[in-house]
Amino acid sequence: MLNVTKPNIGVLALQGDVVDHARALEAAGANVRKVRRASELDDVEALVLPGGESTAMSNLLLAFDLLEPIRKRLDDGMPAYGSCAGMIMLARRVVDGRDDQRSFGAIDMTVRRNAFGRQVDSFETDVELTGIEGGPYRTVFIRAPWVEEIGDDVEVIGRISQGPADGRIVAVRSGNHLATAFHPEVTTDARVHEYFVTMVRAAAGARG
């Protein structure tokens, strides 16, 4: 018999598109818990950092005393997935951020905030994602960052393949940490969330 466990995955619920991620994670086979305080982290084995506004998220993480508890779990290897503002939150270095904006530094990368510029605030394009089968993924970008630099342990999963941003890195993975500049939660294509749920199951398997 197929034994598929349902992992408990938290969605950081201080700000941003929490509901869409929760729905997408449930569709991908997870139990979803909203995380607003440090004690709620104890119930989750992985965390999603939604899109929204990274400067506001940074303020709220400090106000809710969540920044250090989440950083510690990430340092200990808790799987995490960040989309858009969530990608910025996972980055070690942020360009064009607000001076006092904080991030978890979990992925050795430099991201540029609002990288695509004002004229192209929002757009959609097809991106091939390494490790995600079934054809290109229709990606939605909303005032998105891109990745300008990555460390040796960071794998590029997706790049823009047309237009002025051709070649820009928009999806990466580093161990248990996944980040995309786009918003899979606003589409009906569950493959990115399924990929993350598979990562979470694998991490749980590795722990035994």
Pick out the residues of the known binding site for L-glutamine.
52-54, 113, 142-143
The smaller minimum CB distance to ligand GLN, of residues 29 and 158, is found at: 158
Place of tokens 């990929």: 195
Q: Binding site: what residues are annotated? A: 52-54, 113, 142-143
The residues facing 81 across adjacent strands are 48, 178
The answer to whether residue 84 is catalytic is yes
- Would residue 84 be called left, alpha or beta, if left means φ above 0 and alpha means ψ between -120 and 50 degrees? left
The smaller minimum CB distance to ligand GLN, of residues 52 and 79, is found at: 52
The smaller minimum CB distance to ligand GLN, of residues 10 and 52, is found at: 52
Shortest reach from residue 54's CB to ligand GLN, in Å: 3
Cα torsion 183, 55, 92, 96: sign: positive
Catalytic residue among 84, 177, 193, 194: 84
Burial of 145 by CB count in 10 Å (0-12 exposed, 13-18 middle, 19+ buried)? buried
Shortest reach from residue 168's CB to ligand GLN, in Å: 15
Shortest reach from residue 111's CB to ligand GLN, in Å: 9
The answer to whether residue 128 is catalytic is no
Shortest reach from residue 29's CB to ligand GLN, in Å: 25
The candidate with the shortest Cα–Cα distance to 127, out of 58, 42, 187, 204, is 187
First-to-last alpha carbon distance for the chain, in angstroms, is: 20
169, 128 Cβ separation under 8 angstroms: no
Binding site for ligand GLN (CB under 6 A): 51-54, 84-85, 88, 113-114, 142-143
The answer to whether residue 40 is catalytic is no
Q: Cα–Cα distance between 168 and 180 in angstroms, integer?
A: 12
Catalytic residue among 21, 45, 177, 183: 183
The smaller minimum CB distance to ligand GLN, of residues 85 and 109, is found at: 85
Q: Cα–Cα distance between 42 and 186 in angstroms, integer?
A: 28
Active-site annotation, residues: 84, 183, 185
